[in-house]
Structures are given as structure tokens and as C-alpha cells.
Structure 1
Amino acid sequence: MENQISLKAEMAEVPQAAEVGELELQAVIGFNGEAMRHVPTGLKCHPDQEHLVYPLGCTVLIQAINTNKQDFLHGHGNNVSCVDVSNSGEYIASGQVTYMGFKADIILWDYKKREPIARLSLHKGKIEDLAFSPNDLYLVSLGGPDDGSVLVWSIAKRDAICGSPAAGLNVGNATAVIFSGGCDEMFVTAGKYASAGGGAGPISHFIGFCRKQGHSSMPSDDSFFYLGTTTGDILKMNPRTKLMADTGPVKDKFSLGVTAIKCLKMGALLVGSGTGLLVLCKSPTYKPIKKIQLQGCITSIALRGEGHQFFVGTEESYIYRVNFTDFKETLITTCHFEGVEDIVFPFGTDELFATCAKRDIRVWHTLSNRELLRITVPNMTCHSIDFMRDGKSIISAWDDGKIRAFAPETGRLMYAINNAHRIGVTAISTTSDCKRIISGGGEGEVRVWQIGCQTQKLEEALKEHKSSVSCIRVKSNNEECVTASTDGTCIIWDLV
């Protein structure tokens, strides 16, 4: 027996709703490390050496390094695409992405008050990168591919003072901008096939290369600046002569390209590659002096103080802390790096919760935001999870058509139901007596499984949905369940 619920054609009169308050964001677990879709060089260490600054969605997050206390800067209407912190630490600037043809905002924030000071709107489509001048006089902004301009803003006047196309017609898009280490009138832009330098006036292009450049760094004395390329080279440029001083490494280039680069006071370079290799090297050979292997492509390197300690962000959403002396990494932040498919709390407690995304399931401690357990099934996608009422197992739905049960303390596989659905298991739920599992598949079928001590038996197969089942909820008395599908229908099923 089933009852199908559909939308009625007639609209009932809706009473005026009472005023609803907004939910306050308490904490965030995550770091958008993927440079291509999120924010390259998005991880910053504040000059007070006590806070990390990085964007997450439409929010800029300020996190205390020692206590993990978080503050949030809200104001953007779409995803934050870049962020920078002034040398004095007084200002934070963040830019966003928006729809083609619409203006993309830059917000200038007061760091101490955690409030916006000004909203700067001239670019269209996307803000590609931002950079403060060394004495906080100017802010340079770089527009995205649909904008193509570089603008210089006066921080005191909160207004643009000049602008220019960021790249010539015969070269690609500019993707990065850095200011001089000691001069408020010089900055460098770099991008696909080109690099350019300019002052607080029109930009003059003076260097052209046949490589894609996306990452740059400049020492504080402005004698040279360095460019990292997707071919795995490092280019050392002289801004005064407008010539290349040297390039390297000659033989063992950085595999999958140079994805992050940072100058140290002592003249050495920290270089991150697409394979997750972090290297300390020096010009002109660029041979590794020290190196460590991290998880995922390195997208950010943020120095703490003079560089005695630094933080590294990767594409797989890890943040590492590395001490310069021993050059050993400590993992301080981790999260899913793919979209979260499901989230569930165990019965009777809010101290723990579990999430699933792509190939793994993770169990988190609510109060500390720490990861307690990770369960990984390589090359598979987990679509849905649920805790058994007794808390003794985590039931999960996978795209290979299997239902897998894991121990919540160790992550050990307890049992697996093979061929549970033909086109993958897309939704799952359990009854409160821990004796049945209800699963939904990509073919639209709902199946009821009887769970014994050593056996898992198919009890019933229910077919009514025309498309994949997206959600299942069981009534508290275990006599009925409701299923939702991507075909736009909900069905109530009698389980007795």
C-alpha cells in the first residue's frame, strides 16, 4: 500500500508568517584549497602572527592559531575569489565572483572591528587577485577574464585613482598581482604567457614568455621577483633592467608545475608543486635543500613572521604547519575536498556527527570541530549514511551498488550487501529496532533488508519512482517510511 503526494494545482491562502530570525554561524570546518575552482593563494597569516585568514564560500574566516577561535566576515553576495591582508594588519581586502556582465565587489575590512569599511565596485564578473602596497597607501585589484583590467585604489579616499588593461591583446589573461616589498609605486602582474610591471599609473608590458605563469613572489629589497610556471620552471626577473636573470631547475623540474612560491628574508625560496612536494631551494640552481611530501597539490604558502614557521594549504583541503628548522609538517586542519553528500547525528547525542563525501566517511567531534575517524573506500562515492539506533554501526550507500556497514569507533568493515541496487545505492535509512535497512537506488527502486546477527536478507522490493531515490525517512513506530525521488514525487510506504 502506498500513498503518493503531489503538488495541488490550487493555491491555498497562506497566513502571514511570523518574523523568523536568522541562524548564527558558530563554527566552520573546512578550507577551500582547490585553486582552479576556489581561491589560489587564499591562505594568509596575519601580521600579528596569531591568526589565519582565508575565504570559505561567501565568508572570510579569521581563525586563532592557538585556540582555533573563529570570527566571520559576512558581506559578499557570492563566492569569495581572492583575499589579502595589509602589511600593518589593519586591513583585509576580499573580492568575489559574480555573473557575467554584473559588477563584482571588493570589500575593505577593518581587522580589529571585524567590520566592512568600504565596498569598491568597478570590475565585472570576477576579482582575480588583490594586493596591498607595503605602507597601506594603495590596493591593487585584478579583474577576471571577462574584465581584463587592473585598478589602483586609494585606501584613504576609498576610490580608484587609475587603471589599465592587465594584459595585451596578443597574450593571455593576467591571474596574479604582487606589490613591491618596499615601494608603494611598483607592482607586478603575471598570468598566461606574460608578466608585466607598473606603478600607480598606466601599466607597461615588458616581458613575454611562452609558458603559463600564475604564481609570483618578490623579496623585500625589490632587486628581483620570481615567477613559477606550469612547466615546472622558476624564472628570476630583474624589474629594473626588464631582463631575466636566471631560470631553473635545468633537469629535475617541478612535476605538474610550480603552484605556489614564497621568498624568504635569507634569499631562499619555498616552492610548492602540483604533486604536493614542498621544497626549500636557492637561485640559480633551484636544487632542493630540504623537501617534504604533502597531501594534494600545494596552492598556498603563508609565512608566520619572518618565516621561522609557515602554513601550507593544499588542493585536498589540508592546512599544514611547518617549522623551518626541522622542516617537518603538522596537520592542523582537514575536511572533505568534494561536495558533502550527507550528514547525520547518532541517536541521543549531539557530541558527534558523521559526514560523507565522494570516497570517504568522516566522524567529527562537535565541540572541538576535530576529525575523529576517517573511513575511505578508494574510487567509490558514498551517497548517504545513517547510524544504527544502538550506535554500533554506520550504514552507508555507495555508487558501486553495495551497502556497507562500518564500526563507528575503528572504521572496521562489519559487513557488505553486494548488488543491493543495479544503478548504485543513492539513499539509506534504518529502523529504530535495528532490524531493518531501507535503501533506495538509482533505478528508483526501494528495498527493505532484514538484518540478523550474521545475515542480511532482502525482505521486499518496492518500485514506483521513475528516477533515483534521493532521501528516505522512517516513522518512529517503524510501520511506515517516506521516500523522495528526483522525479519530483514523495511516496509513503507501508512497511508492516
Structure 2
Amino acid sequence: MSADLLELEHVFGYSGKFQSTVHYHPTEPTMIIYTIGSLIVIEDINNKHSQWFLKGHDNDVTSISISNNGYLIASGQVGSQFHKHHEAPVIMWNYQTKAPITQFGGLVGKIIKVEFSRDSAYLSALTEDGRLIVWDCRDGSSIYNRRGEFPITSFAWGAVTELNQGLRGANKHNSYTLAACYPGQVVVNSFDYEIASMSYKITTAACQLPSAGMSRVYTCAACDTAGAYYFAGTNSGEIIIFNIQNRVFRASIPLSSNGILCILEVGGYLYVGSGDGKIKKLVGGDNKWSIVAEAQLPGKVVSLSYGRNEIISGTSLGCIFRLMPGDLTNTLHSESPIGAVRDVSFGLRSDMFLVIDAAGFARIWDSSDYTVILRVGPTNRIEGFSCAVGEDGCVLTGWKDGYIRCYDPQSSTLRWEIPNAHKGAVSALFINSNYILSGGEDGALRVWARMSHQLLVQFTDNKRTLTRVFPDLKLTNLIHSSGIDRIINTYDLKLERRVVHHEIGSGNILDMTQRKDNELELITCGVGNAILFWDCDEANPVQHIPLRVSIISIEVSPSGKFLAAGSEMGELFIFEVGTNNLISQGAVHSSKINRLRWSPDQKQIVTVSDDCSIALWNFYGQ
């Protein structure tokens, strides 16, 4: 087996589901760090071809932080599905080696936020149940672990006071400020080292609030560079300002109608991102601030980070933007799906591919520069299920509401639609110059006229969802279908009836392809089954490829020499057709591969996954 035949070129997939998930590297200004499912991605912002991946989490990464010295990355996740108590570990990584240094366990549920102290010596994490923990980055020991009567909802490190207490190594034990938000209260924790006890003494003081009280739910927080002021965002759209040196409330500034989700302080300016998609730049001090610039982005603004003369922002619609700090002029850096990616298809061109996702979008990507050149979908965001590209470039899509919709690739407008093509989702599509094939959740296979879109014939032998439909490679009057009810059928369009029937005893069939050599056998895969080869003259499979994991998607390469297979664990396998030898494999997705497709020139493979990601692989086989 040779891993050299398969090379991961690029991964798309920033979903924007969580706050604080896009950052500039503090000492390497062209590098950004962001999340894709359970992966952490390091990318050169000026060269999208340069990506590195940190793999260690087994569920979505919910927050990341980079130490100010640039040496460390910290990440937290949603509770693991593979542990009884849904543990949510925090991992600390070495940025240079891209390897984990240590993993902090004992946390459950979900990590809300991770953040390094300003001198990079300590790491703090906040859990879903309001527990705040602080670890020493040098030895991994915990110096603070507390959950109060009311859960903490956000926090931020403040100033670091450098001290030399006569110990070996100047400034060995600095003093720290860590401010935290409770519902209706903000407290300031002071960490001061005591030589007598050889440990930190932690004192907590509440900030003085207005006499009328202030009941707020805090959603994010940041401290200014000097460590004098604490800015807390609320779900009602305000930023609340506290002087944390004097422990006193200073101002409440309403900024949004849909909550504050991120706050960034740079050079005396405040940049505030909110749920209404706006980023507002404020200037001022103490209790007097004014808005001097504003930008409107699509979706909620969930992350803000500053690099050298630039701000980067992540939104809930899977977009990453680059903004100028002065007037907030912005450009789109990347766009990704925000729902499980269900299907992928190539047309005649190898440099463009179509995907459809569960969030209600179908997009065409240009694989040369990773940009979206077409984005379509119903206005009411129906869940997408299947897609295909016609010989004329038309974009054929299948949806949860049973509609087949066809879009113009140039204007993005709807060309035509077939209402109620199926009861339930349109789960499989095929298009050529003669007809359109569709399979549905209702188990029906329907054949539609290519030009008039009228129903020509239908077959209803399956009772559950069809997973693949396509014509025979040799006899074009034959149509093959597979379904999750374990049935493979072949129909003769001339006779308008079923002519071949295969059925397996257990499991299901999730995908099907066809050999292109003289055998022309059908190949199937599914949960609880190996990869099976079927001959029309034999009732049982004529050969199989056993594997340790279930295969979800398969496709024979354009040359017919290779078989690509995607697994439930997100792995990609390449087999040699004929010998069935495994010749290469790779893994990048954190969830199952729903579909994969070869490019027409056989130089690339695209895999799409439940974790909202799309992977573009280079293949060097002949």
C-alpha cells in the first residue's frame, strides 16, 4: 500500500457554530487558526493551498486560543460521544511541531471558552455547567477549579504584574487578574503568589453595580490592553463596562438587537460583533464611547481576532472575512457549508464540483482557488439531499420537500422545477441528454423527460429510501437502483419492468457503482456489509472486500482501474479493481463520508461529510 498515491490538497468546512473559533497567529501574521468539526486548521491566509491539521479531538471543537508568545494552542470540544460521561477534554498543542503537549481531562458537557494568560504561563477553561479552571502551562497542574452558586458564563484574563520575589529566575511568579461573569454579577479574581505556602493565594471581589441593580446574561468578555477595564457582552445586545482596578461599573452601551457574541480591543478601539451580523468599532474611554465605523456581514458574528494591520472574523453562515481596522472594509476569505454535506457531483469539467447540504444550499466550487462561483437554494431553506450536473452545466438538485429544482449555472436563477416528484426527500438523482432519473425516500424510481420534465415511467418495488440510481454503462435501456431496504433492482425501460433483482439478508445498501471493465458488475456498500460485487446472472455476490468499518460511499474511477470508498469513520480507501488490493488511504473528516466523486480526469477525489466539511484529494495513480 502506498500513501503517496493520495494527497490531501484542501479542506473546506468552517461552520461558525461556536464563538472564538477563528484567530490570527500573534507572531506569524499570515497564519490563521480556525476549526473544522473536530479538526484545528492552520492556514496561510495568502496561500489557501498551505494547510496543516491538528487531530486529537473526537467531537466538534468549540473554542481555541493561541498564546501571545505564539508557541502554544489550546482547544476545547463538545463532550465525547465515545465516553460514558461525555468528557470534554482540553488539549494544549505545540504550534511548531503541530503535536499535542498535554490533555486536560475530568471536564464534561462542552467547553465554552479557553484562553491563555497574557504572559502565556497559564491556561483557563470554562465548561458548560459554569466551572472555571486554571492550569499551569509548565507542568499541567491546576491552580484554580471552582463552580460557584451561580454558573460562570464568560471570563477574560486581565493584567499581569511582574514580580521578583528573590526566587531563582526573575519574575518567576507574577500576579494575575481574571475577571468572570455570573448572571447579574461580575467578579475579579486576583492571583498572588505566597512564598510561605509556595502557592497562589486567590482573592475574589465583586464589582460594584448601580444601585438599581443589573440583571444580565453575559455572553462574551474581554479586557483592555492595560488591564484596567473589563468589557462584557450580553444577550440583550449591550456591552457592560467595568473598571476592574476599582471594581466598579462604569457604563452600559446598547449596540445590537440580537446579542453580543465577541469583543476585541486593539489600540484603544473596541470592535464588537453581534448576532445581527454587525461589527461596530467604538472609540472612547471609561464611560464615554462612540461608534466610528460599522460593517454588515452575513450571519451572526461569532469570532474576531487581530493580526498585523488586519482583523479576521468568523460568522455563523460559515464565512471567514478579512477586515481593515480603520473603516472595516471587508473581503470574503472563505465560505463553507453550515450543514451536513449530503452529495457531490462533477459535470464535464474537472476543476469545478457541485455539493448540496442539509442547511438548504447547493454550491459550485472552483477547485483551483477554492472559491464559490454559484450558490442556489429555495428561499425557505429546505434541507438538501441530492445533486447532479447536466451535460449543459445545469444544476439539478433534490430536496426534502420532494421537489426537483434545476438552476442556471450562469445566472443562478431557477430554470424549472418538478413539484412533489417524491413523497419525502429526493434522495438520488441522475441526468443525461435523454432523461432524468430520481429516487426518493418513498422508495420510488421515476424517469422524467429531459426537455419537458414529464413523468415517463415509474417503478415502486422498493419500500424504503433509494440511495443510488443510474443507467447501465453498456445497455442504456437498463436502469440500476439500490435502496436501504437491502434491494438492488435493474429495470428495462423498453419493457417497463424489472428484469434483475438482488437482495442481501441484513444491513442496508447505502451506495452503488459499476465496474467499467468487461465484467460490468455492480458494486455495493453499506452498514453491516462488506463491499459486494454483483453479477446479473448470479443470485449471490460473486466477490467481496471485507473491511473493519462500514463503507458509506463508493465509486469506480473514470478509467475503471480504481475503486474509492468512504467510511463511517471519515476514512478514504483506494482499491485496485481486479485484485481488490488496498493501495492507498487517508483520513481527515471527523464524521462519516456521505458521498465521494472522482473528477473526470481522475486526478482528484472530492469527499463530503456529516461534519459540514468538504475534502479535496489529489490522486497520482495511473
Aligned residue in 2 for 1:46? 25
Indicate whether 1:165 and 2:146 are aligned.
Answer: yes
- Equivalent residues in 2 for 1:310-459 (5 A)? 310-347=311-348, 349-357=349-357, 358-379=359-380, 380-388=382-390, 390-431=391-432, 434-452=433-451, 455-459=452-456
Aligned residue pairs total: 456
Aligned-partner SS, 2:459: strand
Return the alpha-carbon distance in structure 2 between the equivalents of residues 135 and 73 of structure 1.
Answer: 24
Aligned-partner SS, 2:47: coil
Q: Measure how far apart 1:84 and its partner are.
A: 0.3
Return the alpha-carbon distance in structure 1 between the equivalents of residues 203 and 447 of structure 2.
Answer: 68
Return the alpha-carbon distance in structure 1 between the equivalents of residues 97 and 2 of structure 2.
Answer: 29
- Equivalent residues in 2 for 1:252-267 (5 A)? 253-266=255-268
Q: What amino acid maps onto 2:421 in structure 1?
A: A
Bigger mean CA deviation after superposition, 295-304 or 393-402: 393-402
Q: Measure how far apart 1:315 and its partner are.
A: 0.8
- Equivalent residues in 2 for 1:10-159 (5 A)? 25-34=8-17, 39-47=18-26, 48-68=28-48, 69-99=50-80, 101-145=85-129, 148-157=130-139, 159=140
Bigger mean CA deviation after superposition, 62-71 or 93-102: 93-102
Q: Measure how far apart 1:89 and its partner are.
A: 0.7
Q: Measure how far apart 1:88 and its partner are.
A: 0.8
Aligned residue in 1 for 2:525? none
Indicate whether 1:177 and 2:168 are aligned.
Answer: no
Aligned residue in 1 for 2:227? 222
Relative to 1, partners in 2 of residues 1:46 and 1:241: Cα closer, same or farther, differing over 3 Å? same
Aligned residue in 2 for 1:14? none
Q: What amino acid maps onto 1:41 in structure 2?
A: S
CA contact (8 A) 1:174 1:194 kept: no
CA contact (8 A) 2:385 2:425 kept: no
Q: What amino acid maps onto 2:337 in structure 1?
A: H
RMSD across aligned positions (CA): 2.5
Q: Measure how far apart 1:51 and its partner are.
A: 0.9
Q: Measure how far apart 1:382 and its partner are.
A: 2.9
CA contact (8 A) 1:383 1:425 kept: yes
User: What TM-score, normalized by structure 1, do the two folds share?
Assistant: 0.85
Relative to 1, partners in 2 of residues 1:32 and 1:423: Cα closer, same or farther, differing over 3 Å? closer
Q: What amino acid maps onto 2:13 in structure 1?
A: G
Return the alpha-carbon distance in structure 2 between the equivalents of residues 41 and 296 of structure 1.
Answer: 15
Return the alpha-carbon distance in structure 2 between the equivalents of residues 413 and 491 of structure 1.
Answer: 33
Return the alpha-carbon distance in structure 2 between the equivalents of residues 483 and 447 of structure 1.
Answer: 11
Q: Measure how far apart 1:21 and its partner are.
A: 10
Bigger mean CA deviation after superposition, 467-476 or 321-330: 467-476
Aligned residue in 2 for 1:236? 241
Return the alpha-carbon distance in structure 2 between the equivalents of residues 194 and 482 of structure 1.
Answer: 65
Once the two structures are superposed, residues 50-96 of structure 1 have per-residue CA deviations (whole angstroms, 9 ceiling, x without a partner) of 11111111110011111122111112222212110000111111122
Relative to 1, partners in 2 of residues 1:413 and 1:74: Cα closer, same or farther, differing over 3 Å? same
Q: What amino acid maps onto 1:481 in structure 2?
A: I
Gaps of 5+ in 2: 162-174, 192-199, 494-622
Q: What amino acid maps onto 2:354 in structure 1?
A: A
CA contact (8 A) 2:16 2:302 kept: yes
Relative to 1, partners in 2 of residues 1:42 and 1:175: Cα closer, same or farther, differing over 3 Å? farther
Q: What amino acid maps onto 2:434 in structure 1?
A: K
Larger relative contact order (Cα-Cα within 8 Å, sequence gap ≥ 6): 2
User: Which of 201, 210, 216 is the aligned partner of 1:211?
Assistant: 216
CA contact (8 A) 2:20 2:113 kept: no
Relative to 1, partners in 2 of residues 1:331 and 1:191: Cα closer, same or farther, differing over 3 Å? farther
